[in-house]
Copies of this chain bind each other. A is one copy, B any other.
Amino acid sequence: MGTRHNVVPQGGKVRKSTDRDESQEELILEAAKRVFFRKGYAAARMQEIADEAGANKALVHYYFRNKEKLFHHIFKSSFKAFWPSLESVFVGEPDVRQLLKALISLYVDLLEKMPYLPNFIITEINRDPEKVAGLIKETGIQPEKLMAVIGKAMSQNQMVKMDPRELILNTVGMCVFPVITRPLLGYMLWPDEGAYEKYLSGRKASLFAFVCRATGLEVDKN
Binding site for B on A (CB under 8 A): 38-43, 116, 119, 122-123, 125-127, 129, 132-133, 136, 141, 143, 160, 162-163, 165-166, 168-170, 172-174, 176-178, 180-181, 183-190, 199, 203, 206-207, 210-211, 213-216
- For A127, list chain B residues within 8 Å (CB): 43
- For A123, list chain B residues within 8 Å (CB): 40, 119, 123
B170 with A174: CB separation less than 8 A = yes
Closest residue of B by beta carbon distance from A211:
B214
Closest residue of B by beta carbon distance from A170:
B174
With A and B bound together, what is the CA distance between A25 and B180 in angstroms? 33
Instruction: For residue A77, give the distance in angstroms from its CB to the closest CB of chain B.
Output: 17
- For A165, list chain B residues within 8 Å (CB): 189-190, 199
B199 with A163: CB separation less than 8 A = yes
With A and B bound together, what is the CA distance between A145 and B39 in angstroms? 35
Closest residue of B by beta carbon distance from A176:
B177
Closest residue of B by beta carbon distance from A43:
B42
- For A163, list chain B residues within 8 Å (CB): 199, 206
- For A199, list chain B residues within 8 Å (CB): 163, 165-166
For the complex of A and B, 9 pairs with smallest distance between CB atoms: A173-B177, A42-B43, A214-B214, A42-B42, A129-B183, A213-B214, A165-B189, A125-B183, A170-B174
- For A185, list chain B residues within 8 Å (CB): 169
With A and B bound together, what is the CA distance between A165 and B166 in angstroms? 23
Contact among B42, B129, B180, B216 with A122 in the assembled complex (CB-CB below 8 Å): B180
With A and B bound together, what is the CA distance between A178 and B122 in angstroms? 11
With A and B bound together, what is the CA distance between A221 and B120 in angstroms? 42
Contact among B39, B41, B177, B187 with A132 in the assembled complex (CB-CB below 8 Å): B187
- For A187, list chain B residues within 8 Å (CB): 129, 132-133, 136
A213 with B160: CB separation less than 8 A = yes
Instruction: For residue A130, give the distance in angstroms from its CB to the closest CB of chain B.
Output: 9
A162 with B206: CB separation less than 8 A = yes
